[in-house]
Structures are given as structure tokens and as C-alpha cells.
Amino acid sequence: MPVQALDPRPTATEWWRGAVIYQIYPRSFQDTNGDGVGDLPGITAHLPYVADLGVDAIWISPFFTSPMKDFGYDVSNYRDVDPTFGTLADFDHLVAQAHRLGLKVLIDQVLSHSSNQHAWFKASRLSRTNDKADWYVWAGARPDGTPPNNWQSVFGGSAWAWEPRRRQYFLHNFLESQPDLNFHHEPVQDQMLEEVRFWMERGVDGFRFDACNFHFHDQKLRNNPPARSKKIEWSTVQEGNPYGCQIHRYDKSRPENLGFLKRLRTLMNEYGAVSVGEVGDEGSLATMAEYTADGDKLNMAYGFSLFTEEFSAGRIRSVVQEFEKHLRRGGGWGCWSLSNHDCVRVVTRWGKGVDDPALAKLLVAMLGSLRGSFCIYQGEELGLPQAEVPFDRLIDPYGIAFWPDFKGRDGCRTPMPWTAERPRGGFSQVEPWLPMSPGHLDRSVATQTADPDSVLHFYQRFLAWRKRSEALCRGTIHFDKTPEPILALRRETGSDRILAVFNLSPEPVCHTLPCPVQPLEGHGLDAGRQDGRDLYLPPWGGFFGRMV
């Protein structure tokens, strides 16, 4: 059924509504000091490239001090830059340069857990009586010595690890080296808010909050019930991982989190900062809506409902419609994405072996037509496929544990190809931390800059064209009922009424338009031809028109 959500009237400070956010994975963007790992000066050097894409903001994945067991998502000092990436002065320079180019800066914040090398955890694990004793989630063993309940780690196995010094288990929803902070202990909440404040004082414009529905746990430590189906929406949870065998009712997405998110929003409002929360949950769409409702929690949220293997008009339509249905209850705003540093790159996942630049162009046009803001993961603008990383070069502990059924996340984290130069593509002067994919070199930034028909140039044209449309950036959304493989939607605000039709297949299709439509030009997609109300779309083609 068609869905219409509230049409928000943005203020001058609501730049984030309909914004395009470019995700940068620092380790793989640009190495400037010759150690094979990307760094903050490397990001700064390429900010003009990012600005030329036409995005509104960058999101930088973690660069904080860390033992790198999970590549920065295990923080051991929230207020400093890991030497791998540079210094605080390098970060300050990056922010200043981004602002000069008109780019907002969002940074990752990992509040739900820290590294086990953090000073807080080192103190907490020593005894049950020191001043950090309650800063993490501790529980006694059951009478037979086993963990206190059946909760599972996202990365496989029990979410509990034994600490002999306290003779208790501690909770880790991710790696054992990532113990969960105890948000039921108010000093922890206070401290994490101060960690956020530290970076706002340095000029950041907002945050991407990692695993933001994991802050609280059930204090009664009740067992999770078994899943009714092993199919869940969080695509990073792989077949063979027992995590998918439970409904995660008690270990995340707890109601107490709403109160903390309100505290967080109050703090961020002092600085005019913006938040986008990552929600990994069976019911992620409802949680996303709840976390962004009423204007007093997160500004935006995203989940993993479009990170699945299924690529169809029906899937995209049903996901967006369900989210819009939840939004009706309290407003809110989504932030869509098709790829990030945790999943198989979208042109591989949805292309099913098809290597066609037209698919990469179609996907960003489709994504940019959905109601909400959206993220582009570095390399998407080049149409990069998933890289093949041999087992002996794997670094991701998740992939190593589940090989060969799941090859981990390294294949979407390989270095950015700036040039076609072999073997390192201009990323580094030495062998990179992950191998440069040979298949990426022919799709390098330099190669595509020289080709006016490239995916890169299409991104630049389309994002500039979209930015001029109030309907596409902030309008309401309706979906027409169409057969596969056609996705048709309408975006409207005031007198600006746009119909978008996409052919999600490698075969030509014919679609009868529902009303008279005046074709729009300048978006760059191959719109085929129109004969009256009959629209003939080429493979991976797309049409934009103004309804008259």
C-alpha cells in the first residue's frame, strides 16, 4: 500500500535532513607515513575529492587509541588518537580543512563497550570493591560454574567470559576483548557523556553511535527465548553463528536506553551536533523509529534491512513502507545505506556476478530517492566489487573464526585505489595492511576521473542534481504497486511532485506510467524512451519525471 509520512519543515540548522554522508574507513583511505595503514593526514589530503563528490558530511570510523583487536571499535582511550592514525593536532587540522570545504564532520563513538585494555576495565577486573568495580557488567556463575545465562556474542559463542580475580563473569556482546560498560551505573552514563563532549569541544559536527541499542541489559539476566526463525535482519550475523538462534529480548534494545538517548540529545543540542545511530536488531525498523521519534533522542538511525542478499523491488518497498509506518507514531528520520565496513559490497551482493557500471549508477539513484538521509561507503562511488582476500592475509577475527562459510569483513575493507599503478594503487609506498585488490585498479579514482561516463562522474552529477530537489531531499514518499523488477515511487513537497521509476534488472522492461509525466533531465541515468505513457527502460535504467 502507498505510504505517506509527515513532511518535516526543516530549519536552517537541520542540514542533516536529506543529507549525503560519506563514510571513511581510516585504515584503508590513504597512507601518508609509509607504514601500510591509512591515517588522518591521508584523509585530509583527499578532502577536496570528497567535497567534489557533492556530499554534505564525512563519517570517520574509529581512530581512537586502541589495541586494534577489532580495528578501533575496541577503545582504550576515548580522548586521544591512536599513533597509527596520527595525533590530535592532525585531527584538528582535518576538521578545519573539512569545514573550509563546506563538509560537516561526524565521528564514530563506541559507547556500549570499551577495550579490555582501557584503564577503567583494568581497575574493574581487580576486585569487587574498587571505584570502578561497577563500571562493567559482572555476574556470578551458576551453581555448576557455567555462565549466568544463555546470551550469545555477535561474533559467536557465549557472551560471558570468566575473570578469576573477581571470580565472576563479565559480559561482552562482541569480542571477549570488548567488555560491555554498565549503563545501569549512572557514573558510567555521566562519563560517556563527557567523552562525547570532549570531541564536540574540538569542533565535530556530530557522531555515528556504534551499536547504540546495546547500551543496556536486563538486570535480572533473564535467558533470551529461542528464535522462531533463524532468518534475522542483521546481515553481519552469518549462517552457522548461534547468535541467530535467539530473539535478543534481554541483552539489547532495552527500554532504559530511551532515557540515556534523551540525555545524549540534550547534551548534543548544546553544541548543535547531530547523531546517527546504528541499530542492529531483529526489529530494527521499529527500533530506528522509536530512537528518532519526538525530536528528543537521535536525529537519525540506520539498520541493516537493506544489507541482505535479496535484491528486489518488493524487498526495498516493504522495508521502507514498514519504517514509514512506524514513523507515523512519533515522527523521526531514517538514514539509509547499502554498504559499509561490515558487509559485502553492494554491487557484488546484489549484482550476483554481473559486472556492469550501470548497476552501480542505478543503486545510488535509487538510494538517493528514498525518504531520509543516506550514507555512501568509500569506494561505492567507483562501483568497487568485494575484494577476494586469501586466508593467509585475513585479519578480521570474525572471518577467521567462521572461514570458509563466511570470509569476514576484510573483503570490503581493502585499500582505496587512487591510481591504476600496480601493485598498490597509490594507497601506500609499502605493502598495505590488507592487499590492494587487482580488480580495483582499473576502477581507480584517476582512471574514472579521466572517463566522463564513469561511475564516479555519475555520482557527482546525480548528487548535484538531487540536491536541487526539495522533493527528493525532504518530501513525502509513496510507492506504486508494480511488478518485479520495477520499483516506482513518488516524492512530493508542495508543488514539487516527482515520480521515479527504476528497472532493477539486467533486462529491458516496459512500464505504463500511472499519470502524465514530464521527463526530467540532468540526473545522468539512462532513462530509455517514452511513448505516451509507455516507458521503455533499458537494463538497470531509471526515469525521473515531474507529475503534471
Question: Rounded to whole angstroms, what are the CA distances from 253 to 139, 260, 466?
Answer: 20, 12, 35
Residue 270 designated active-site: yes
Q: Is 67 exposed, middle or buried (0-12, 13-18, 19+ CB in 10 A)?
A: middle
Strand, coil or helix: what is 287? helix
Per the CB < 8 A criterion, the answer to whether 267 and 195 are in contact is: no
Q: Are 476 and 496 in contact (CB under 8 A)?
A: no
Quick one: which of 14, 24, 29 has its CA closest to 427?
A: 29
The DSSP string of 409-475 is SGGGSSPP--S--TTTTTS-SS--SSPPPHHHHTT-HHHHHT-TTSHHHHHHHHHHHHHT-HHHHH-
CA dist., res. 63 & res. 117, Å (int): 16
Q: 508: phi > 0 → left, psi -120 to 50 → alpha, else beta; which?
A: beta
Q: How many residues does the chain have?
A: 548
Concerning whether 381 is annotated as a catalytic residue, the answer is: no
Phi, psi (deg, nearest 5) at residue 185? -90, 110
Mind spelling out the 3-state secondary structure of 347-373? HHHCCCCCCCHHHHHHHHHHHCCCCCE
Beta-carbon contacts of residue 521 (< 8 Å; ≥ 6 apart):
none
211 phi and psi angles, rounded to 5 deg: 45, 50
The active-site residue, picked from 270, 392, 405, 521, is: 270
The 10 Å Cβ neighbour count of residue 1 is: 7
Q: Identify whether the C-beta of residue 415 lies closer than 8 Å to the C-beta of residue 38.
A: yes
Report the phi/psi class of residue 540: left, alpha or beta, with left for phi > 0 and alpha for psi in -120 to 50.
Answer: left
Catalytic residue among 31, 90, 163, 210: 210
Give me the active site residues, please: 210, 270
